[in-house]
Amino acid sequence: MRTAAVFTALFLSTLIALAEPHSTLLVDVDHRPAMSLDGPWHYIVDPYRGGWGSNTDEPGPHGYAANTHYVPGGPLQEYDFAKAPVLEVPGDWNSQRENLFYYEGLLWYQRDFTYHPKPHTHTFLHIGAANYAAHVFVNDTLVCSHEGGFTPFDCEISSVVKDGPNFVVIAVDNQREVERVPTLKSDWWNYGGLTRDVSVVEVPDTFIDDAVLHLTNTGEIEGFVHVTGGAAGARVSVRIADLHVDQNAVTDEHGRAKFTFHPSGLEVWSPEHPRLYKVEYAVGEDRLQDDVGFRTIEVKGDEILLNGKSIFLRGVNIQGEAPIRGGRAYSEADAETLLGWANELHCNFVRLAHYPHDERMTRLADKMGILVWSEIPVYWAIDWTNPRTLDAAKQQLHEMIRRDQDKASVILWSMSNETQPKPERTVFIKKLITQAREEDPTRLITSAFVTRFHDKTAVLDDPLAADLDVLGYNQYIGWYTDKPQAAPEYKWEDPLHKPVIMSEFGGGAKAGMHGAATEPFTEEYEAEIYKQQFLMFKNMPFLRGLAAWVLMDFRAPTRLLPGIQDGYNRKGLVSNKGEKKQAFFVLQDYYAQKQK
Ligand code: GCB
């Protein structure tokens, strides 16, 4: 009986999943003309999930998606967006309303927009990020559902959008759940909402939804353009005026047109010379522009070669949190401040932890010449054997790659952070590695491990390591492990002869708290950790990069020491209010020396 009920439920949920319209993802939407839907959206907080209008989480006849209005004396009506308060989009809800600070669950957004569809076009609603699950309705029709809180998606609305007034309702749900990615626990705030830009994008009937070009080790530029809505044989062109490139190719039966050409006089992209070229793609009426840098990245033995030359990555970790203002980072100013500090530190590298950050970060990194490690939130314990969890991770990986495959700054795709080496975890992450290599064979694959120590020797025995190009080691000698002064006694080996990045190290300090270098949480203590770590790094000839933990203090749910942490992870080199701590200058000096 029970089994039958479980089967029925499974069958029904599969049917519902099949019936749900899926999102797609257009590349370079930030470079297409679009109608912004940023600004105030009405919202209804819905912890009891009444907005579905049914007893399940499926749209029912009296759900909020219908966006009906209260009329005095009219039919019974128990909500009205038009009279509800507003939240700014982009923006998480937690940092905008005190009473939503701890809120996790379902919240409904609504806004009106006027639109005039043109013949022979497709219209999409582009959502930069919605944490975590989103169901999108236009004029009371479900247009798509999406999972994953840090990557963009597009919902086609061509068949439901009308000439004149329209409305969009988005149900966003950031409930932490075992099967989600990330899962129940993380060391960052679970900011909910429409945390990045929302816009309406119009494209011709035949349009480019994917395009990428990259430099090969033999000096060719190769890549492809993918066209939707056209018959095979559509003529696609690629122009790079500054390189006198004007190439044509035709699409195959899968809508793909491939390109290979030899550019003459190419200036390669590098941190010292972040040259970007204007690339113009065209098919039929569709035009897409991108700013692209051309460089190569590869591994040779234990070295990382950028444009064929060995490079040392002077880096820092960054959480996607807004300086000063707090909450999720989303603006140009946020990106400029964060990467500006990295630049002041003489960094040539940042690890964007632990999830894909706003696209403005990778665009700006391209312009500034800062190399990037980009990661999906496969963090700590994940529901390794659950196929839905694997699907969620794969989807986020796919969307991360697709969005940033054109960014020269991004050199490393990271599959995970600090996962315990159980067999089921290794199977799970290996599937992600296979996918990443298929979708983007041009970049290096990494993961950050928790370092295990045997006495004072680091043990590098994670079975995943064999499948990675670059190994990331997180260690907190001087903070969670041992005293800072013990660091130089630690021994490190590189049994696999692969490039190693110390992907996290550091300790906490409250800005302005001074005292002995032996007293945790003083600026002196944090600075001392850095000095001792640098001594240890001297004994690691195979070390190819560093990413200090972390650029700025950030909100963390379990960092509760009153008067010191107050809900923040205090391992920042800069406080969340922008005050630089002593460790900032210690690292700055060290990187200045390394740069020479
Ligand atoms: C780690 C995690 C990072 C934490 C950090 C800490 O190992 O990767 O997400 O925030 O340590 O401060 O403990």
One DSSP character per residue, 476-539 reads: -BTTTBS-GGGGGG-B---TT---EEEEE----B-TT----TTSTBSHHHHHHHHHHHHHHHTT
Centre of ligand 1 from the C-alpha of residue 254, in Å: 43
Ligand 1 atom with minimal separation from the 417 CA: 8
Ligand 1 atom with minimal separation from the 418 CA: 8
State the amino acid at position 324 in one-letter form.
I
The verdict on the CB of residue 187 being under 6 Å from ligand 1 is yes
Ligand 1 atom with minimal separation from the 480 CA: 13
Position 21 scores a pLDDT of: 83
DSSP one-letter string for 1-47: -HHHHHHHHHHHHHHHHHHSPBPB--TTGGGS-EEE--EEEEEEE-T
Distance (Å) of CA 203 to CA 42, 124, 234, 244, 303: 28, 8, 16, 27, 44
Centre of ligand 1 from the C-alpha of residue 188, in Å: 9
Pair 328, 92: CB distance under 8 Å: yes
Position 19 scores a pLDDT of: 56
Centre of ligand 1 from the C-alpha of residue 568, in Å: 12
Beta-carbon contacts of 596 under 8 Å, excluding residues fewer than 6 positions away, are none
Residue with CA at minimum distance from ligand 1 atom 9: 187
Centre of ligand 1 from the C-alpha of residue 186, in Å: 9
The verdict on the CB of residue 475 being under 6 Å from ligand 1 is no
Ligand 1 atom with minimal separation from the 479 CA: 13
Ligand 1 atom with minimal separation from the 353 CA: 9
Report mean pLDDT in 10-residue bins for the chain, 596 residues: 40 46 92 97 97 80 91 94 98 98 98 97 98 97 97 98 98 98 98 98 97 98 96 97 98 98 97 98 97 98 98 98 98 98 98 98 98 98 98 98 98 98 97 98 98 94 96 98 98 95 98 98 98 97 98 98 98 98 99 97
Ligand 1 atom with minimal separation from the 474 CA: 7
The verdict on the CB of residue 569 being under 6 Å from ligand 1 is yes
Q: Is 257 left (phi over 0), alpha (psi -120 to 50) or beta?
A: beta
Centre of ligand 1 from the C-alpha of residue 463, in Å: 22
Centre of ligand 1 from the C-alpha of residue 505, in Å: 9
Centre of ligand 1 from the C-alpha of residue 582, in Å: 20
Centre of ligand 1 from the C-alpha of residue 565, in Å: 15
The verdict on the CB of residue 418 being under 6 Å from ligand 1 is yes
Q: Compute the distance between CA of residue 523 and CA of residue 510 in angstroms, rounded to an integer.
A: 7
Position 55 scores a pLDDT of: 76
Report if pTM > 0.85: yes
Count helices and strands (H / E) in the chain.
7, 34
Centre of ligand 1 from the C-alpha of residue 533, in Å: 17
The verdict on the CB of residue 417 being under 6 Å from ligand 1 is yes
Ligand 1 atom with minimal separation from the 556 CA: 10
Residue with CA at minimum distance from ligand 1 atom 13: 187
Q: For a ligand 1 pocket test, name from 420, 504, 565 the mutation site with the most ligand atoms within 8 angstroms of its C-beta.
A: 504
Position 208 scores a pLDDT of: 98
Q: For a ligand 1 pocket test, name from 187, 416, 503, 555 the mutation site with the most ligand atoms within 8 angstroms of its C-beta.
A: 187
Pair 97, 105: CB distance under 8 Å: no
Centre of ligand 1 from the C-alpha of residue 182, in Å: 14
Rounded (5°) CA angle 34-19-140: 50
Ligand 1 atom with minimal separation from the 506 CA: 12
Residue with CA at minimum distance from ligand 1 atom 10: 187
The verdict on the CB of residue 504 being under 6 Å from ligand 1 is yes
How far, in whole angstroms, is CA 87 from its chain's centroid?
Answer: 23
Beta-carbon contacts of 190 under 8 Å, excluding residues fewer than 6 positions away, are 104, 131, 174, 176, 557
Position 596 scores a pLDDT of: 93
The verdict on the CB of residue 414 being under 6 Å from ligand 1 is no
The verdict on the CB of residue 474 being under 6 Å from ligand 1 is yes
Residue of 359, 464, 428, 441 lying closest to 128 (CA atoms): 359
Centre of ligand 1 from the C-alpha of residue 351, in Å: 13
Which residues, listed in sequence order, are joined to residue 316 by a DSSP beta bridge?
350, 548
Position 204 scores a pLDDT of: 97
Centre of ligand 1 from the C-alpha of residue 214, in Å: 34
The verdict on the CB of residue 555 being under 6 Å from ligand 1 is no
Q: For a ligand 1 pocket test, name from 379, 418, 419, 551 the mutation site with the most ligand atoms within 8 angstroms of its C-beta.
A: 418
State the amino acid at position 559 in one-letter form.
R
Beta-carbon contacts of 76 under 8 Å, excluding residues fewer than 6 positions away, are none
DSSP letter, residue 163: S
